[in-house]
A = this chain, B = another copy of it.
Amino acid sequence: MAEKTQPKIIDLKANRQAVTSYDVARLAGVSQSAVSRCFKPGASVSAKMRARVMAAAAELGYEPNAIARSLITRRSNLVAVLISNLTNLYYPEVLAELTRHLTAYDVRVLLFSLESEADANATLQQIWPYRVDGVIAAAELSPNHVAEFEKRHVPLVFYNRQLNGTSVSSVSCDQEDGARQLVDGLFHAGHRRFALFTGPRESVVGIERKTAALERLEELGIDEVPIFEGNYSYESGYGLVSDMMGARAHGNEGAPVDAIVCANDVMAIGALDALRADYGLTAPEDISVVGFDGVGPARWRSYDLTTIRQPVRRMTEAAVAMLMSMIEDPEVSHEKRVFSGLLRAGTSARFTAGD
């Protein structure tokens, strides 16, 4: 035998994460494969065997190594979730719900937060080596990026994003329908002078909301609609109010705007604050403001927004279910699921919900 000079260190090393299925097998006096089978639900194992193995496993504190398992089964039980900007008030709920549902499938979440859409390349490079079973993307990806998924046969589900021509599975909220509901309600309540506070020009969701609103307004005979571009932030909603007021001041004809349709709740909140603080206007008496999403603060008493609440629970559940079925069966066909948002009538607008 070798000298036992430093038993302490040896012990440490021996103790270091070393319990494998072989150790359990040895202690239980069975083969390693038997141990493996005992930990696989539905495998062929006798009750006696299972009892012995489990006892040995418990005694040693054995925990199967998911890494090793993934290697041989070619299933990592990892799903990557891409979120574009987590600090947008809307996403934390989405992320929490996605995580919850994925956990129910015994799948772990590998989180990637894209600061800008330009990060997509770098992020994808980080994802591929981990052989994730699938990806849920609440972020803008280019057709090239999507092609990368197809090349690798990695299932992808978009959350609230579309990609024009390509066939990709997705779950989203019906932005157009929501925008129309909002416009209709405002119109029915008598509003005729609308303004739009939009999202950033490159946001697909923002474009959908804006376009649908404009179309509906036109159908209703309203074509002169001033449009102000923001970026979904509180500050931009706040700032656009003075832009809007300034535009009017500078000789833009016509009566004052009496209804602002914002691309999301946070901008609506910013707008309300600016109107109140800087112009002494209160909603819904002097002006109406509506948002979109139905985030928590939309319900705060100071705002009490009229908005479209996205059915986040159902949407995330659907996204996860869709992804999992794609993972189970790679041949399953693509699908797009579109959920209608629910109108929440607050007091930030004079509003008459359709019949």
Contacts and interface: CB of A to CB of B under 8 A. Distances in A.
B113 A110 contact: no
B87 A96 contact: yes
B71 A68 contact: yes
Contacts of A238: 301
A246 interface: no
Contacts of A274: 301
Contacts of A126: 103, 108
Contacts of A129: 63-66, 69
Nearest to A152: B17
**Interface bracket on A:** 35 or more
Given A300-B273, A302-B302, A131 B66 contact: yes
* Chain multiplicity (copies): 2
B67 A131 contact: yes
B87 A93 contact: yes
Given A91-B92, A99-B111, A234-B300, 16 more contacts: A17-B74, A17-B153, A63-B129, A66-B129, A67-B130, A68-B71, A71-B71, A99-B113, A111-B111, A269-B300, A270-B300, A273-B300, A273-B301, A276-B302, A277-B301, A297-B297
12 contacts: A15-B153, A61-B151, A63-B129, A68-B71, A78-B110, A99-B111, A100-B115, A110-B111, A234-B297, A270-B300, A272-B302, A297-B297
